Amino acid sequence: MTASKSSRARAQRAQANAARNGGAAGRANGNATAVKAGAPVKAGAPVKAGAPVKAGTVVKAGSTPRTVTARGGAPDRRGSRGPAVERELTAEAPATRTVPLWMQLATFVLALAGLGVSIYLTIAHFSQSALLGCSESGLVNCTKVTTSPQSYVFGIPVAVLGLAFYLFAVAIMSPWAWRWARREVYLVRLAATVAGIGFVLYLLYAELFIIGSICLYCTSVHAITFVLFGLTVFAAAAWGLPKRQRA
């Protein structure tokens, strides 16, 4: 009788120990369980580090998931980009359309032609030689125009001013400058042609209404400036200006 009671007591203690060990193992396995799709994680329930939270999973306050996977199990890296990286990736292109090659070459050739005439006028001014093929009587009188008081502006010979303008025009109208798609370059090109056309209008007024004669070489430079102005404005209207680049 005594032996039977002792056996039952030992059996009960063994069952109790097994139940406690099983509960501890269950709790350990529960902590390592990954959160499945659509399974809400309640407040205060920690999520094990490294456990993937699948698409559609609702994670509530108090949970600490560290790895979130997108649909298909691939990591979603969109959130890893900082604001600076996003701005760089979404930066707009400098120009929406490029000025065609024929426009680049046309303006460049015209600028070279204007530079050549300006060089000749400058040499003739300082050497005081007559301009070839230009009449010296009547409406067309190159000498009268080039020796008039209006041939100086602020003490500087007009021929020298024209030479400086076309030196700059050759650089700014070159194909390399056209391909340099910066908004500042386009604006400087426009401003230069506007200033040039304003100066040409003054010279035409001086020739026609003050001097009373015109110079063929000067008129050719005026015509080239008019065409350059028209082409530059047309290029800005047809193909637009490059957009402002972000710092």
Report the pLDDT value the prediction gives residue 21, as an integer from 0 to 100: 56
Domain ranges of the chain: 43-69, 101-239
- Over residues 12-25, mean pLDDT: 59
Reply yes or no on whether the pLDDT at 51 is more than 70: no
Report the pLDDT value the prediction gives residue 181, as an integer from 0 to 100: 81
Report the pLDDT value the prediction gives residue 241, as an integer from 0 to 100: 87
CA–CA distance from 126 to each of 119, 129, 146, 218, 221 (Å)?
Answer: 11, 8, 11, 16, 18
**Whole-angstrom distance, CA of residue 173 vs CA of residue 106:** 9
Which of the four pLDDT bands, split at 50, 70 and 90, describes residue 70? Answer: very low
Average the pLDDT over each of 14-18, 83-87, 128-132 and give the range with the smallest value. 83-87
The answer for residues whose C-beta is within 8 angstroms of residue 119's C-beta and 6 or more apart is 163
**CATH superfamily membership of 101-239:** VKOR domain (1.20.1440.130)
Report the pLDDT value the prediction gives residue 38, as an integer from 0 to 100: 45
Mean of per-residue pLDDT scores for the chain: 75
- Over residues 51-59, mean pLDDT: 47
Report the pLDDT value the prediction gives residue 211, as an integer from 0 to 100: 94
Report the pLDDT value the prediction gives residue 212, as an integer from 0 to 100: 93
CA–CA distance from 48 to each of 27, 72, 160 (Å)?
Answer: 13, 21, 81
For residue 149, give both structure tokens: 């008081």
Give pLDDT tens digits for 180-239: 888 999 999 999 999 999 999 999 999 999 999 999 999 999 999 999 999 999 999 999
Give pLDDT tens digits for 87-140: 543 444 444 468 999 999 999 999 999 999 999 999 999 988 888 888 777 889
| CA neighbor of 95 nearest in space, from 201, 243, 204, 199 | 243
Which of the four pLDDT bands, split at 50, 70 and 90, describes residue 36? Answer: very low
The answer for residues whose C-beta is within 8 angstroms of residue 181's C-beta and 6 or more apart is 94, 95, 98, 242
Report the pLDDT value the prediction gives residue 180, as an integer from 0 to 100: 87
Instruction: Identify the residue with better confidence: 182 or 245.
Output: 182
Instruction: Identify the residue with better confidence: 242 or 21.
Output: 242
Three-state secondary-structure class, residue 50? coil
